[in-house]
Every structure is written in structure tokens, then in C-alpha cells.
């Protein structure tokens, strides 16, 4: 993302280009990608204070506008946001668009120029408008990946707190992740093992049943986000005084 914003900065003669993926708020520093000579102090000050003073918000969805289109020059330069935050870093002209996806994700694209640079032209706005659908797709994908990662962390955290060996598989039945209990049992090589990055039961009958379950689930439920099976294996190895080990195989 930073590489794309860097190309935009060069093409538009901007001193900063920012994509705000999650707006800051009380207790939340938000998430943004910025290119230009930005300092950590500047980012912290925006996250903690100046975001609440920003008048360049609530823009029409997926429409590129400039500050000169929504307020007068005198009002803009007199605003506390301009005087205290933008002017010290040589930002005068501002162009931007708000992007909203169908699943409710909202982000903001902002392009800045210095006082000595010309205001943004209709050609500049048209250039940004061409890029908006691509940013929208990228933001949608980011939101989906963020949700999946949050679900994975929540699930993995819950499983790590239980006496359950958990193995997460991809769409090809290969191991993506194991939890601490699964790692402990696999190291003992008693009941379950990983071979060629795929789970196998030690005993032939158990392994045939395991492979059948995984294969059927991948064929029948490939479009589901998560599918879980619980299988019980008797273990001869004592693990924290537990001799009956529960396994959870999760296909993603």
C-alpha cells in the first residue's frame, strides 16, 4: 500500500499522501498509512488530539473534493486544525475522498500540497477518481483479512486455554497452525503425527477415518469459512495427568 501511495505522491507533486484505514477515536489510535516526511510526533499528535479538530471529514462517498470546494480560503486558514497542525508541516492544499464498502468499512484518502504549490486541478481530481475503485477493493480485502485474523486469534486463544490439541488446515488439507497442546502431543508421536505437512493418525484404522473426514469436509464444505471436527483418541502417554486426549481438526 505504501508503494502505491508513494507513486501517487510523486505523480501529484504532493508532500504527503495518507490512507486512513480506521479513523482514530477516544481510546483508539486508528490505523493509517502515510508517505512523506512525516514524524512520529506528528502521527501521535493527530491520533491523540487533532483528529477531533479535523474539518475535512464526512465527505461524499467516493467523490474527490478539495478544501476550496467545501469552505472558503479564509475559513480554512483560520481553523485551529490548519494553524496548529497543518501549517507547521507546510500543508496548505488538501484533496481527498471518503471510501465506504458494502460491509460498512470506511476509510479516508488524503493528498496534501505545500503553500508554495498550486491548488489541485480537475486533472488531479480525475486521476484520484480513477484510483478509488482499486482502493475500495483493497480496503474491502483488508477488512476481510482483518476479520479472519481476529477470528483466528480468538479461536486459537480459546483453544490454548483448553486441554485440546488443535490443528488448523488449509483448503488442501495442509497444516496452517497448531496450538501448544497439539505441539506437545505431536512431539510425543502417540496417536497423531504430521507427515508432509498433513495430519495422520498413528494407527491405520484411525488414519483411514481421519483422512475420510478431512476429504469429505473439504469436498462438501469448501465454501464455508470454518468447519470443525472433534475426535477422541486414547493416549498411553500422560500429559499433565491427562490420558484421554481430545483433538480438534479445523479446516479453513
Per-residue pLDDT tens over the stretch 116-152: 999 999 999 999 999 999 888 887 776 666 666 666 6
Q: What is the pLDDT of residue 39?
A: 77
Specify burial of residue 208 (Cβ count, 10 A radius: 0-12, 13-18, 19+).
Answer: exposed
For the record, the C-alpha cell of 202 comes out as: 498413528
What is the H or E stretch that residue 12 is in? helix 2-12
Query: Whole-angstrom Cα distance, residue 5 to residue 166?
Result: 40
Best CA proximity match to 196, nearest among 163, 215, 173:
173
Q: What is the pLDDT of residue 240?
A: 35
Q: Helices 122-160 and 2-12 sit at what angle, rounded to 10 degrees?
A: 170
Residue 107 clears pLDDT 70, i.e. is over it:
yes
Its pTM stands at 0.59
Q: What is the pLDDT of residue 244?
A: 39
Work out the pLDDT band at 250, boundaries 50, 70, 90.
low
Amino acid at each position: 500500500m505504501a508503494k502505491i501511495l508513494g507513486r501517487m505522491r510523486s505523480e501529484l507533486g504532493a508532500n504527503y499522501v495518507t490512507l486512513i484505514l480506521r479513523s482514530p477515536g477516544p481510546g483508539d489510535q486508528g490505523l493509517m498509512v502515510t508517505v512523506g516526511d512525516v514524524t512520529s510526533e506528528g502521527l501521535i499528535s493527530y491520533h491523540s488530539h487533532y483528529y477531533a479538530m479535523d474539518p475535512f471529514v464526512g465527505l461524499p462517498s467516493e467523490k474527490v473534493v478539495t478544501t476550496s470546494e467545501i469552505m472558503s480560503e479564509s475559513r480554512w486558514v483560520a481553523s485551529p486544525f490548519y494553524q496548529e497542525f497543518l501549517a507547521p508541516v507546510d500543508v496548505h492544499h488538501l484533496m481527498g475522498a471518503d471510501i465506504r464498502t458494502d460491509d460498512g468499512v470506511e476509510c479516508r484518502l488524503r493528498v496534501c500540497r505545500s503553500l508554495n504549490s498550486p491548488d489541485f486541478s480537475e486533472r488531479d481530481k480525475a486521476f484520484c477518481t480513477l484510483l478509488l475503485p482499486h482502493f475500495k477493493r483493497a480496503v474491502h480485502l483488508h477488512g476481510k483479512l482483518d476479520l479472519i485474523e481476529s477470528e483466528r486469534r480468538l479461536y486459537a486463544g480459546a483453544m490454548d486455554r483448553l486441554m485440546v490439541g488443535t490443528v488448523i488446515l488449509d483448503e488442501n488439507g495442509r497444516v496452517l497452525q497448531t496450538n501448544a497442546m497439539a505441539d506437545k502431543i505431536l512431539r510425543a508421536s502417540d496417536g497423531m503425527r504430521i507427515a508432509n505437512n498433513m495430519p495422520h493418525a498413528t494407527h491405520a484404522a484411525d488414519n483411514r477415518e481421519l483422512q475420510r473426514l478431512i476429504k469429505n469436509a473439504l469436498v462438501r464444505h469448501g465454501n464455508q469459512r470454518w468447519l470443525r471436527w472433534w475426535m477422541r483418541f486414547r493416549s498411553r502417554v500422560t500429559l499433565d495427568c491427562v490420558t484421554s486426549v481430545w483433538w480438534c481438526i479445523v479446516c479453513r
